[in-house]
């Protein structure tokens, strides 16, 4: 079994990428897949560890370690090495509902704790996963499951993000009659209208949604539960209601002038850009030749940088409230590394500027507007003291700004939305004991756990479905 010396013979390779200069001319995926021989060699690096941390799905110090889906990583790697791609795919599909999503966007928690990474480089598990699912589609191994024995129970799922979709798939396979309600015009949640096209091309989502439709799941778009259809109606028509609405309430920027035109929330900006691309319409927010400032230093801010670069912004600056992360990792294996990373979008903006666009220990003090439209911002330096950020006096600095994009994270569900579901909130979380229709309602994904990852949302959707299946003993 396997190739015991693969990790000594072959270095880990990362997929080649289209040059920044070229790739920012469009919104296409810029990763170049391996050829088959390279893919097999990469898979052969897996040591088939006795204790495979990669698939452990543990939580250490409140952080996820290993694949939350517990994908059978050593087995699939080995089967790829042996050239048994179909068998490898059969292992993958046992636990991974949509490997084409995770294979593109997962931060690969599995790789962070791979044993090979203790004193070398991790096995490229994510690339293996994407290779397998694309082989499966190419070779027609994925067929809609239309031979499902129905159990007569009806479930409404509110929200079509990864948690709603994985929950729907599991319930549908178990015989439930599933209808997904989505307020947007397209299915996919943040996969569709958050994560930009260059990270996940949208035809990949449509391909899977078409399969789910063929399997019997019904999708109702442009319908907001609580507004276009009432809770009473849902309760009357369905045996179970699953809320998978994500986190709609963005953390606001609180300072003078923050209500000026041109101050945008990141998800609104990213959603409009993807919608413009798919609808082939002009950009709603046209960043061409504009000075763009992005507040926040996480993955969402990075996606905004990449999007602004593709819209030919004149300048892109990222303002981060925290310290600059260390250049070398400070946490021991198997934790997810803590070090400064430069993801694709920031790398592109750095390339355009010719230096690092990130300014640390800084926040916005005031938005300056002219005729109601942002023209600049005053920033200020801050430091973290006794559990909070405090201002450093006399550090105000003026920057020209035409668009200020807020990417400061999310605070959960808005009170307004919660009220429309007849739910009560407690410090941004739902109070489970006070649901009006307690016995019929479940919550999953980011709506339950707060802002997280696609892979976590997928697992939570499956867990939620399993609870319902257990309840009806089907
Ligand atoms: C910009 C951005 C980039 C990200 N990049 C990554 C990444 O690269 N990798 C990664 O792993 N994670 C990433 N994430 C996080 C990831 O996208 C989320 O954790 C995940 O999508 C959560 O899934 P979900 O199903 O819980 O909710 P969501 O994906 O938020 O889906 C919720 C859905 O519910 C719908 N909805 C809400 N209310 C109603 C209602 N009342 N009626 C009907 N429909 C409703 C919404 O329109 C939405 O479609 C990113 C997040 C953002 C914002
Ligand atoms: S889903 Fe993510 S964590 Fe799990 S095996 Fe795939 S890349 Fe790794
Ligand atoms: S930890 Fe790494 S080397 Fe070990 S089984 Fe998992 S992927 Fe293979």
CATH number at residue 118: 1.10.1060.10
Q: Please tell me whether residues 126 and 68 are part of one structural domain.
A: yes
Which ligand 1 atom is nearest residue 227's CA?
Answer: 41
The residue whose C-alpha atom lies closest to atom 1 belonging to ligand 2 is 102
The residue whose C-alpha atom lies closest to atom 20 belonging to ligand 1 is 454
CA of 239 to the centre of ligand 3 (A): 43
Kindly state if the Cβ of 79 falls inside 6 Å of ligand 2.
no
Q: Please tell me whether residues 314 and 447 are part of one structural domain.
A: no
The residue whose C-alpha atom lies closest to atom 49 belonging to ligand 1 is 189
Give Cα 89 distance to the centre of its chain. 23
CA of 417 to the centre of ligand 3 (A): 43
pLDDT at position 191 is 98
Domain total in the chain: 3
406, 421, 444 - which closes a domain: 406
Look up the domain containing 438 and give its range. Answer: 154-248+412-472
pTM here is 0.97
Tokens of 251: 């953390």
Kindly state if the Cβ of 48 falls inside 6 Å of ligand 3.
yes
On whether residue 343 sits in a domain, the answer given is: yes
By CB atoms closer than 10 A (0-12, 13-18, 19+), residue 472 is middle
406, 430, 463 - which closes a domain: 406
CA of 456 to the centre of ligand 2 (A): 10
Three-state secondary structure call for residue 253: coil
Kindly state if the Cβ of 109 falls inside 6 Å of ligand 2.
yes
Kindly state if the Cβ of 69 falls inside 6 Å of ligand 2.
yes
Instruction: Give a three-class secondary structure readout of 94-124.
Output: HHCCCHHHHHHHCCCHHHHCCHHHCCCCCCC
Kindly state if the Cβ of 164 falls inside 6 Å of ligand 1.
yes
pLDDT at position 435 is 55
Instruction: Give a three-class secondary structure readout of 437-472.
Output: CHHHEEECCHHHHCCCCHHHHHHHHHHHHHHHHHHH
Q: Please tell me whether residues 55 and 162 are part of one structural domain.
A: no
Tokens of 383: 């430091």
Q: Please tell me whether residues 131 and 14 are part of one structural domain.
A: yes
Cα distance between residue 365 and residue 377, in whole Å: 7
Kindly state if the Cβ of 164 falls inside 6 Å of ligand 3.
no
Three-state secondary structure call for residue 53: helix
Which ligand 1 atom is nearest residue 444's CA?
Answer: 26
CA of 77 to the centre of ligand 3 (A): 9
On whether residue 395 sits in a domain, the answer given is: yes
pLDDT at position 1 is 59
On whether residue 1 sits in a domain, the answer given is: no
Looking at the CA of 114, name the nearest ligand.
Answer: 3
Cα distance between residue 462 and residue 442, in whole Å: 12
CB neighbours of residue 196 within 10 Å: 22
Place of tokens 């802002």: 451
Tokens of 129: 């996963």
* Nearest in space to 271 (alpha carbons), one of 108, 417, 405: 405
Cα distance between residue 294 and residue 271, in whole Å: 16
pLDDT at position 424 is 77
On whether residue 275 sits in a domain, the answer given is: yes
List the helix and strand counts (H, then E) for the chain. 18, 20
* Nearest in space to 128 (alpha carbons), one of 2, 44, 214: 44
Looking at the CA of 46, name the nearest ligand.
Answer: 3
List per-block mean pLDDT (blocks of 10 residues) for the chain, which spans 474 residues: 78 97 98 97 94 94 92 97 97 98 98 94 97 98 95 98 98 98 98 98 98 98 97 94 93 96 98 98 96 97 98 98 95 92 97 98 98 98 95 97 97 89 73 63 92 96 97 88
Q: How far is CA 414 from CA 52, 370, 421, in A?
A: 40, 30, 11
Q: At what angle do helices 454-472 and 162-173 cross, to 10 degrees?
A: 30
Buried b (16+ CB within 10 A) or exposed e, 75-98: bbbbbbbbeebeebbbbbbebbbb
The residue whose C-alpha atom lies closest to atom 35 belonging to ligand 1 is 159
CA of 474 to the centre of ligand 2 (A): 29
* R_g (Cα) of the chain, nearest Å: 23
By CB atoms closer than 10 A (0-12, 13-18, 19+), residue 134 is middle
pLDDT at position 446 is 95
Q: Please tell me whether residues 274 and 399 are part of one structural domain.
A: yes
Kindly state if the Cβ of 184 falls inside 6 Å of ligand 1.
yes
| Strand intervals (E) in 6-110 | 16-17, 31-32, 58-60, 63-65
Phi first, then psi: what are they for 333, rounded to 5°? -55, 145
CATH number reported for the structural domain that contains residue 193 in this entry: 3.50.50.60
87, 111, 138 - which closes a domain: 138
Kindly state if the Cβ of 273 falls inside 6 Å of ligand 1.
no
CA of 194 to the centre of ligand 1 (A): 7
| Strand intervals (E) in 338-372 | 358-359, 362-370
Which contiguous run of DSSP H or E holds residue 128?
A: helix 125-138
Tokens of 58: 């543990």
CA of 366 to the centre of ligand 1 (A): 30
Looking at the CA of 121, name the nearest ligand.
Answer: 3
Q: Please tell me whether residues 54 and 127 are part of one structural domain.
A: yes
Residue 153 near residue 472 (C-beta atoms within 8 A): yes
pLDDT at position 428 is 62
CA of 431 to the centre of ligand 2 (A): 31
Q: How far is CA 27 from CA 30, 131, 274, 278, in A?
A: 9, 21, 9, 11
Which ligand 2 atom is nearest residue 106's CA?
Answer: 2
Kindly state if the Cβ of 71 falls inside 6 Å of ligand 2.
yes
On whether residue 372 sits in a domain, the answer given is: yes
pLDDT at position 427 is 64
Kindly state if the Cβ of 407 falls inside 6 Å of ligand 2.
no
On whether residue 131 sits in a domain, the answer given is: yes
On whether residue 452 sits in a domain, the answer given is: yes
HSE (side-chain half, CA atoms, 13 Å) at 26: 8
The residue whose C-alpha atom lies closest to atom 17 belonging to ligand 1 is 190
Place of tokens 């010719």: 354
Tokens of 295: 């507040």
CA of 63 to the centre of ligand 3 (A): 19
Q: Give ∠ CA 59-60-65 in degrees, rounded to 5.
A: 60
Q: Please tell me whether residues 377 and 432 are part of one structural domain.
A: no
Q: Please tell me whether residues 201 and 284 are part of one structural domain.
A: no
Q: Please tell me whether residues 117 and 17 are part of one structural domain.
A: yes
Tokens of 328: 């070398």
Q: Please tell me whether residues 237 and 340 are part of one structural domain.
A: no
Q: Please tell me whether residues 268 and 396 are part of one structural domain.
A: yes
Q: Please tell me whether residues 402 and 418 are part of one structural domain.
A: no
On whether residue 257 sits in a domain, the answer given is: no
* Nearest in space to 78 (alpha carbons), one of 42, 53, 106, 126: 42
């Amino acid at each position: 079994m396997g190739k015991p010396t693969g990790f000594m013979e072959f270095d880990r390779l990362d997929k080649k990428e289209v040059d920044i200069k070229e790739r920012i001319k469009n919104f296409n995926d810029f990763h170049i897949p391996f050829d088959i021989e390279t893919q097999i060699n990469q898979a052969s690096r897996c040591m088939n560890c006795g204790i495979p941390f990669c698939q452990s799905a543990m939580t250490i110090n409140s952080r996820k370690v290993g694949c939350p889906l517990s994908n059978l990583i050593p087995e699939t790697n080995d089967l790829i090495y042996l050239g048994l791609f179909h068998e490898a795919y059969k292992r993958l599909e046992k636990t991974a509902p949509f490997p084409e999503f995770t294979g593109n966007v997962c931060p690969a928690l599995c790789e962070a704790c791979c044993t090979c990474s203790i004193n070398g480089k991790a096995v490229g598990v994510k690339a293996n996963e994407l290779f397998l699912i694309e082989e499966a589609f190419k070779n027609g191994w994925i067929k809609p499951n239309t031979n499902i024995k129905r159990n007569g129970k009806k479930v409404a799922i509110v929200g079509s993000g990864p948690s709603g979709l994985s929950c729907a798939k599991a319930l549908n396979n178990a015989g439930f009659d599933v209808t997904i309600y989505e307020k947007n015009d397209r299915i996919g949640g943040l996969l569709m209208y958050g994560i930009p096209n260059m990270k996940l091309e949208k035809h990949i989502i449509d391909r899977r949604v078409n399969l789910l439709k063929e399997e019997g799941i019904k999708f109702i778009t442009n319908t907001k539960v609580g507004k276009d259809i009432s809770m009473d109606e849902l309760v009357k028509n369905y045996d179970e209601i699953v809320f998978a609405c994500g986190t709609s309430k963005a953390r606001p920027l609180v300072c003078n002038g923050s209500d000026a035109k041109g101050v945008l929330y990141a998800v609104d900006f990213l959603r409009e850009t993807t919608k413009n691309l798919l609808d082939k319409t002009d950009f709603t927010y046209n960043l061409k030749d504009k000075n763009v400032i992005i507040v926040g230093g996480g993955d969402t801010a990075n996606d905004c940088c990449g999007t602004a670069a593709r819209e030919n912004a004149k300048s892109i600056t990222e303002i981060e409230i925290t310290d600059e992360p260390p250049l070398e990792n400070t946490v021991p294996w198997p934790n997810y590394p803590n070090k400064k990373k430069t993801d694709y979008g920031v790398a592109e903006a750095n390339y355009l500027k010719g230096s690092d666009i990130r300014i640390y220990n800084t926040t916005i003090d005031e938005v300056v507007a002219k005729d109601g439209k942002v023209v600049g911002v005053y920033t200020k330096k801050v430091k973290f003291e006794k559990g909070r950020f405090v201002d450093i006096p006399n550090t105000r600095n003026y920057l020209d700004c035409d668009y200020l994009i807020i990417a400061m994270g999310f605070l959960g569900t808005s009170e307004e939305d919660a009220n429309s579901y007849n739910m009560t909130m407690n410090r941004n979380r739902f109070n489970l004991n006070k649901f009006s229709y307690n016995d019929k309602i479940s919550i999953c994904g980011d709506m339950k756990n707060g802002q997280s990852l696609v892979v976590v949302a997928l697992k939570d959707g499956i867990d939620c479905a399993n609870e319902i299946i257990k309840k009806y003993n089907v």
